[in-house]
Chain A
């Protein structure tokens, strides 16, 4: 009918294709790519391009609000679907473990050294202060009831916290404690990462403070001549856990550095590029802390030999160092 509106005819000719695209998208969004038939997959790019061109034409010839709103929404959804990532969760995880994580860590060597200096610098500071005058311990920790590991404790009491007797009643309580510790440590790690945004200053403070707590505790054991035993007790999981905390801090410094000194990029672009890398490091820290918690709750309670403890600590440390820093061929090159 020649008397019809142009925009009406335009719509009439294309409407069934729009609806078809809509149906395919809805199915794909709800149940994934696997729900699409081969026929749908073949039709999708064509339907998408048609919808996008319909939208540009509709904007210039049609005054039907509903059509334009509908097409706008349809094209946006289709765009994100067609150009979005369609890798499965498994593939993403494999990519993360094999490439993204070690690469991000390797790219942040300077920040990692800086974070390690803050953590262990804080530890060394507190260690030597406490060795000279044990009152520093109380200044740092305050008076806490129920804590056995204080300067006032005897050698036997301290030893009892390091080794577990067979049939110890406190064993499952320690497991609960490990869960609590993981929760706490992982939250601190994420905090250290996130606080990097404020130019890394709070991150540095957080690292130093955790180092101070560690160093003062170390001094208590060292003072009683238990340095060797305590190191084994701490490092069986500490090699992983402290490494994770250092890396979380490094993630924070990466962002802080990018925000403070963007170089040739704009501050926003610099923050964006480094933020994604740093987030990869932080995600890796969470994984490391889970491993540390497992080592802590099972390894430490079941293994009471210093030699084996040292062996495990050494092995994990070497493993992490090789995993992160061993030069490797990039896949695809």
Chain B
């Protein structure tokens, strides 16, 4: 079939198929980041690994906090020392240096040993550290994963700042490449492990706190509305699980304008005529309940209709 022979209608189909393929590829990519943890009760938990970008973001936040602590105390200290007339400034500075060492190396350890197993940066992005074997996160593991931070981040920076004559510049370049292996380690393995994670037996997972929202199906449990929206089995079966989830998102978090457009498209698709006193929201909620009922019934029989193109039966 040549390109000239495609009708507009066929082009719509081709476009739909392309989008579906892209969607499935994306789902598969996300699926690669999921690890199954079987609890001692035999239940499966799906842990999502944090992406390299999320971890870099969390690290950036943590570094900013560390700089704020170190800079703030230095500023406060120099202010205090100058107001005391520079007596014993050496001793004060010595204590600050020790303090600096601890902030630099023990900031992460302090927070990760704690109850939330996450630094403020990780917490901000909904990440936490967990043991790879599903057991408890021991203090040893937290120490191990953080003591290597110095070579992963510190070493490349040191080589970057090195320079001078030509020989040492070459040395610096070589060192940068070598230490870059440590820095970019998380990007190149499927579990997104840092060197520290590797030797500590840990990984970083995404465990954001989700809010339980109201069930949309509850609203349509009202009797008078049920009578108003009596969908035929064919109408209630027009879409699949993917569209149901999109509809859920639309109902939970979109503008009235989008709701109107979506309602319009569904009405066209299922051949629904607008009745008197029917609002878009009421129609969508009723249709959501009907679609979910039909799909959940299928699911009980072991048949998951993934999307509207899924027409096995």
Question: Are A179 and B296 in touch, CB under 8 angstroms?
Answer: no
Q: Tell whether A275 is near chain B: CB-to-CB under 8 Å.
A: yes
A290: B residues at CB distance < 8 A: 98
Of listed A66, A74, A85, A282, residue having the most chain B CB within 10 A: A66
B136: A residues at CB distance < 8 A: 83-85
State A64–B291 Cα separation when bound (angstroms).
Answer: 12
Q: Tell whether B169 is near chain A: CB-to-CB under 8 Å.
A: no
Q: Tell whether A228 is near chain B: CB-to-CB under 8 Å.
A: no
Question: Are B140 and A63 in touch, CB under 8 angstroms?
Answer: no
Q: Which one of A6-14, A131-139, A217-225, A236-244 contacts B?
A: A6-14
Question: Are B207 and A179 in touch, CB under 8 angstroms?
Answer: no
With contacts A11-B215, A65-B245 known, is A175 near B90, CB below 8 A?
A: yes
Question: Are A29 and B116 in touch, CB under 8 angstroms?
Answer: yes
* Chain B, interface residues (CB within 8 Å), range: 35 or more
Question: Are B296 and A5 in touch, CB under 8 angstroms?
Answer: yes
10 example contacts (A-B, Cβ-Cβ < 8 A) are as follows A64-B217, A66-B252, A74-B210, A80-B207, A179-B94, A182-B101, A193-B148, A195-B151, A279-B141, A280-B143
Q: Tell whether B100 is near chain A: CB-to-CB under 8 Å.
A: yes
Question: Are B140 and A280 in touch, CB under 8 angstroms?
Answer: yes
A67: B residues at CB distance < 8 A: 212, 215
Q: Tell whether A72 is near chain B: CB-to-CB under 8 Å.
A: yes
Interface residue from A15, A29, A268 paired with B115 (Cβ < 8 Å): A29
Of listed A172, A179, A286, residue having the most chain B CB within 10 A: A179
**Chain A residues with a Cβ under 8 A of chain B:** 1, 3-8, 11, 15, 18-19, 22, 28-29, 32, 49, 52-53, 55-56, 60-67, 69-70, 72-77, 79-80, 83-85, 89, 92, 96, 100, 172-173, 175-180, 182-183, 186-187, 190-191, 193-195, 197, 255, 268, 271-280, 282-283, 286, 290, 293, 297
**Chain B residues with a Cβ under 8 A of chain A:** 37, 39-41, 43-47, 88, 90-91, 93-98, 100-101, 105, 113, 115-117, 128, 130, 132, 135-141, 143-145, 147-151, 182, 195, 198-201, 205, 207-213, 215-218, 221, 226, 241, 244-245, 248-249, 252, 289, 292-293, 295-296, 299-300
Question: Are A194 and B148 in touch, CB under 8 angstroms?
Answer: yes
State A278–B141 Cα separation when bound (angstroms).
Answer: 10
B132: A residues at CB distance < 8 A: 272
A283: B residues at CB distance < 8 A: 143, 147
Question: Are A182 and B98 in touch, CB under 8 angstroms?
Answer: yes
Interface residue from B139, B200, B218 paired with A92 (Cβ < 8 Å): B139
A177: B residues at CB distance < 8 A: 94
